[in-house]
A and B are shown apart, each in its own frame.
Chain A
Amino acid sequence: EIVMTQSPATLSVSPGERATLSCRASQSVSSNLAWYQQKPGQPPRLLIYDASTRATGIPARFSGSGSGTEFTLTISSLQSEDFAVYYCQQYNNWPGWTFGQGTKVEIK
């Protein structure tokens, strides 16, 4: 099973600042990686697929990069609505997926 490890567990950021979230795979997943945002009491929302492609309707301040085993989600200028938990998910061995444990982005 491919293990996905996210860091940090919690990221404290001030509104307007940049946030950088990391995701590492235990073996190469090529570019078969997605990022999701989840707010309390809501289902997750797809932000990024194929490591760097924004899903429909996702603002340009969200960007993804990386391939192989190292991936990054960057939020260029944090808005109040961006404080949430973010998950990465690999689908290289689709249809068997694994998620990272999540990174909580909180207000500093």
Chain B
Amino acid sequence: QVQLVESGGGLVKPGGSLRLSCAASGFTFSDYYMIWIRQAPGKGLEWVSYISSSSSYTNYADSVKGRFTISRDNAKNSLYLQMNSLRAEDTALYYCARGYCSGGSCYGSAGYWGQGTLVTVSS
């Protein structure tokens, strides 16, 4: 079965950096686009970043553009999010998610999610 396990969250001071990881299993990782989505405590969902299956295309929310970098290692079945210049407003639970595909087509929706890793930015 599909499993996504995030790690790397923690407490960091404003201006600091963190690298999140997501270990994927139960599917052919290199066949799917991947996404990071975050949820601030008690708030709604915010899409953060996208990476295509071959890493040829990435995209970012305006709120993180220039500060966050998404990457993947298909040989290691792993997804990453390098977060620099962190701000208090980046405090959130960060989810790794896989795109939803059915009948040979993939759709712009997140079909599988990890449990998330908590990032807290505070002095």
Which listed segment binds A: B10-18, B24-32, B79-87, B100-108? B100-108
Q: How many A-B residue pairs have CB under 8 A?
A: 67
Q: Which residue of B lies closest to A47 (CB)?
A: B109
Task: Give the chain B neighbours of A55 by CB distance below 8 A.
Answer: 100, 102, 109, 111
> A32, B108: Cβ atoms under 8 Å?
yes
Task: Give the chain A neighbours of B52 by CB distance below 8 A.
Answer: 95
**CB contact list, A31-59 vs B, under 8 A:** 32, 34, 36, 38, 43-46, 49-50, 55-56
**CB contact list, A55-96 vs B, under 8 A:** 55-56, 87, 89, 91, 94-96
Task: Give the chain A neighbours of B97 by CB distance below 8 A.
Answer: 43
Q: Which residue of B lies closest to A98 (CB)?
A: B47
A99 to B48, CA, bound (A): 11
B118 to chain A, nearest CB (A): 12
Task: Give the chain A neighbours of B45 by CB distance below 8 A.
Answer: 36, 38, 44, 87, 89, 99, 102
Contact-residue bracket for chain B: 20 to 34
> A49, B50: Cβ atoms under 8 Å?
no
A7 interface residue, CB < 8 Å from B? no
A15 interface residue, CB < 8 Å from B? no
A99 to B43, CA, bound (A): 12
A20 interface residue, CB < 8 Å from B? no
B88 interface residue, CB < 8 Å from A? no
Q: Which residue of A lies closest to B59 (CB)?
A: A95
> A102, B44: Cβ atoms under 8 Å?
yes
Task: Give the chain A neighbours of B61 by CB distance below 8 A.
Answer: 96
Given contacts A44-B110, A95-B33, A95-B35, 13 further A-B contacts (CB under 8 A): A32-B108, A43-B113, A43-B115, A44-B45, A50-B107, A55-B109, A91-B109, A95-B52, A95-B59, A96-B47, A96-B50, A97-B50, A99-B45
Residues of A within 8 A of B (CB): 1, 32, 34, 36, 38, 43-46, 49-50, 55-56, 87, 89, 91, 94-102
Mind listing 8 A-B residue pairs with CB under 8 Å? A34-B109, A43-B114, A46-B111, A49-B108, A55-B100, A56-B102, A94-B50, A97-B108
